[in-house]
């Protein structure tokens, strides 16, 4: 498992917050994250073609990775209210990756989702969706920077 | 003491109308002694966003499964779980959930493996309750823990294993409730779901494909007896009362069909093959058929 010391600060902090509480409380924390997932910014709301479906998640979730002028990462995501677990996954990644450089984001270990202590409370099968989401985000970043 | 059954005219044509309750019935009976409402969802956090007042949550992945072996909890584990949830052996349990009650039907089937007598399904599930604007709460349901007896699971009457299916191949009708694309072998998992868990695609030879959703109408409630008979008797060629086995990918969608065959059409011997395609599609040297037709059972 990866060491917090290597992680960008926001992701390390999220991980510590999860690990500091009991597995049951981690579910509550994930629920809070799901409530914090912001709506799509106005400028993207009318552009479904920009959004990529995360097929590995059981519920329809769409993500779009944006690089600003300073080449900082911003993740936008949309998922139905009836899918709080998936919303929670997207929200954790959106907050954890917010404002990172592309290099920092690409250096995030692929197994970060498996290290936040949710696997037992959520089930390994469901956690695969979050691992896949991170994988797709990193692929989008590579595509955007390869151009 | 069992709670009175729902005698809605809509259910009276079914073989076992007492196995279903309507949203109206549940709203009227909430809080009645001897009635426990259980929510069982695909999404592990959905209950926390709001649930039927007083309902307790039972999560299929994390609570009904053994954490190590691919199997359900044992008698002691089930007793611990239900005792902690405040469910007594003689309580009437009404189960509901998301995704048209897939996981609710699955949980109900597991309750039945342990012989819990009075378990009913909320027809239409969470979606119907919600569409009707009925009450939800985020208050945690506090039920006092009780003693639930340790009852050994009966795997011989409602559950089928791979070896049973192999042995009965060609003699016992099989209903494959997956989507046509999974049945024919284009995919190994439902459309919109991750491709996972099986090395080969297709179906078990001789299986009739009746996608689970055909058993419900637009509002998620089960179709009438006449419509279900059209589907499973006329359509899939089942003879009333004959033994039958249903399967899907991991047994959750087929639990929904198992319920329809067992309680709504009155097939006494219906088994759910929970190993389903994730087992059959990865097993060595079991026969598989691809394409839209049931196919023939190889000679042995």
ipTM: 0.82
Nearest CA in chain A to B191: A55
Give me the residue label for tokens 């009404």. Answer: B94
Rounded mean pLDDT, B195-217: 91
Question: Out of B148-162, B175-189, B237-251, which region has the weakest mean confidence (pLDDT)?
Answer: B175-189
Between CA B106 and CA B103 the distance in angstroms is 5
Closest CA to B249 of B296, B192, B170: B192
Residue B189 DSSP class: S
What's the pLDDT score for residue A138? 94
Q: What is the pLDDT of residues A77-124, one digit of tens each?
A: 998 888 999 999 999 999 999 999 999 999 999 999 999 999 888 888
Nearest CA in chain A to B51: A82
Residue A99 C-alpha, separation from nearest chain B C-alpha, in angstroms: 28
The helix (H) or strand (E) run that includes residue A137 is helix A124-146
Beta-bridged to residue B176, according to DSSP, are B209, B247
Band (pLDDT 50/70/90 cuts) for residue A47 is: confident
A58 inside 8 A of chain B by CB: yes
Angle among Cα B267, B77, B282 to the nearest 5 degrees reads: 60
Question: Which residues does chain A have within 8 Å of residue B193's beta carbon, measured at their own beta carbons?
Answer: 58
Band (pLDDT 50/70/90 cuts) for residue B28 is: very high
Question: Which residues does chain A have within 8 Å of residue B48's beta carbon, measured at their own beta carbons?
Answer: 27-28, 31, 84
What's the pLDDT score for residue B299? 86
Between CA B6 and CA B12 the distance in angstroms is 9
Q: What is the pLDDT of residues B83-108, one digit of tens each?
A: 999 999 999 999 999 989 999 999 99
What's the pLDDT score for residue A4? 52
List chain A domain ranges: 4-142
> What is the rounded average pLDDT for all residues in chain A?
89
What's the pLDDT score for residue B193? 58
Interface test with A, best of B43, B84, B130, B193 (most A CBs within 10 A): B43
DSSP codes, A58-124? SS--EEEEEE-TT-BEEEEEE--TT-HHHHHHHHHHHHHHTT-BHHHHHHS-TTGGGGSS-HHHH-H
Q: Which fold has domain A4-142?
A: Sufe protein. Chain: A (3.90.1010)
What's the pLDDT score for residue A60? 81
Residue A147 C-alpha, separation from nearest chain B C-alpha, in angstroms: 29
> Is B248 an annotated catalytic residue?
yes
The helix (H) or strand (E) run that includes residue B92 is strand B92-96
Q: What is the pLDDT of residues B215-244, one digit of tens each?
A: 999 999 999 999 999 999 999 999 999 999
Interface test with A, best of B39, B44, B48, B62 (most A CBs within 10 A): B44
What's the pLDDT score for residue B190? 63
Question: Out of A30-44, A111-125, B46-60, B188-202, which region has the weakest mean confidence (pLDDT)?
Answer: B188-202
pTM of the full structure:
0.91
Between CA A115 and CA A39 the distance in angstroms is 27
> What is the rounded average pLDDT for all residues in chain B?
94
Q: Measured between CB atoms, which of B61, B98, B194 is closest to A82?
A: B98
In contact, B68 and B74? CB cutoff 8 Å: no
Catalytic residue among B55, B248, B264, B289: B248
Residue B42 DSSP class: S
Question: What percentage of chain B carries pLDDT values higher than 70?
Answer: 97
Chain B residues with CB under 8 Å of a chain A CB are: 42-46, 48-49, 59, 61-62, 98, 192-194, 196
Nearest CA in chain A to B61: A123
Nearest CA in chain B to A129: B194
Band (pLDDT 50/70/90 cuts) for residue B208 is: very high
Residue B168 DSSP class: H
Rounded mean pLDDT, B134-160: 96
Q: Check pLDDT > 80 for residue B19.
A: yes
User: Cβ contact (<8 Å) for B194 and A126?
Assistant: no
Work out the angle between the directed axes of helices A84-97 and A23-36 (0-180°, nearest 10). Answer: 80
Closest CA to A18 of A96, A72, A77: A96
Band (pLDDT 50/70/90 cuts) for residue B142 is: confident
């Amino acid at each position: 498992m990866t060491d917090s010391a290597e992680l960008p600060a926001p992701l390390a902090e999220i991980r510590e917050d999860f690990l500091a509480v009991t597995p049951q409380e981690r579910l509550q924390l994930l629920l809070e994250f799901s409530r914090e997932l912001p709506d799509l910014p106005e400028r993207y709301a009318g552009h479904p073609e920009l959004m990529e479906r995360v097929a590995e998640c059981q519920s329809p979730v769409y993500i779009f990775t944006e690089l600003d002028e300073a080449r900082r990462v911003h993740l936008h995501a949309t998922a139905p209210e009836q899918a709080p677990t998936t919303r929670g996954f997207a929200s954790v990644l959106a907050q954890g990756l917010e404002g990172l450089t592309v290099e920092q984001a690409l250096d995030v270990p692929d197994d970060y989702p498996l290290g936040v202590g949710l696997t037992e409370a959520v089930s390994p099968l469901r956690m695969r969706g979050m691992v896949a989401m991170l994988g797709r985000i990193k692929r989008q970043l590579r595509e955007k920077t390869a151009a | 003491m069992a709670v009175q059954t729902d005698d809605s005219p809509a259910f009276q044509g079914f073989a076992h109308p007492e196995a279903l309750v309507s949203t109206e019935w549940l709203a009227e009976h909430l809080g009645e002694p001897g009635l426990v409402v259980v929510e069982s969802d695909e999404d592990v956090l959905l209950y926390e966003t709001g649930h039927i007042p007083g309902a307790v949550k039972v999560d299929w992945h994390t609570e009904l499964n053994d954490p190590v072996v691919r199997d359900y909890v044992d008698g002691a584990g089930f007793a611990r779980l239900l005792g902690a949830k405040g469910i007594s052996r003689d309580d009437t349990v009404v189960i509901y959930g998301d995704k048209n009650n897939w996981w609710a039907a699955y949980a109900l089937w597991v309750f039945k493996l342990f012989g819990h007598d009075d378990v009913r399904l909320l027809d239409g599930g969470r979606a119907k309750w919600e569409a009707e604007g009925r009450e939800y709460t985020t208050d945690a349901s506090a039920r006092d823990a009780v003693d639930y007896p340790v009852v050994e699971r009966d795997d011989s009457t409602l559950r089928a294993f791979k070896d049973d299916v192999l042995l009965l191949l060609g003699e016992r009708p099989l209903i494959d409730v997956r989507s046509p694309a999974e049945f024919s072998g284009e995919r190994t998992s439902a459309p919109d779901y991750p491709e996972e868990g099986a090395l080969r695609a297709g179906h078990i030879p001789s299986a009739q494909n009746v996608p689970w959703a055909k058993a419900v109408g637009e509002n998620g409630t089960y179709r009438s007896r006449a419509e279900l008979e059209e589907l499973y008797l006329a359509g899939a060629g089942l003879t009333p009362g004959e033994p039958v086995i249903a399967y899907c990918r991991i047994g959750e969608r087929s639990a929904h069909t198992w319920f329809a065959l067992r309680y709504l059409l009155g097939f006494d011997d219906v088994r759910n093959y929970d190993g389903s395609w994730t087992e059959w599609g990865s097993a060595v040297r079991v026969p598989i058929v691809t394409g839209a037709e049931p196919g023939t059972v190889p000679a042995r």
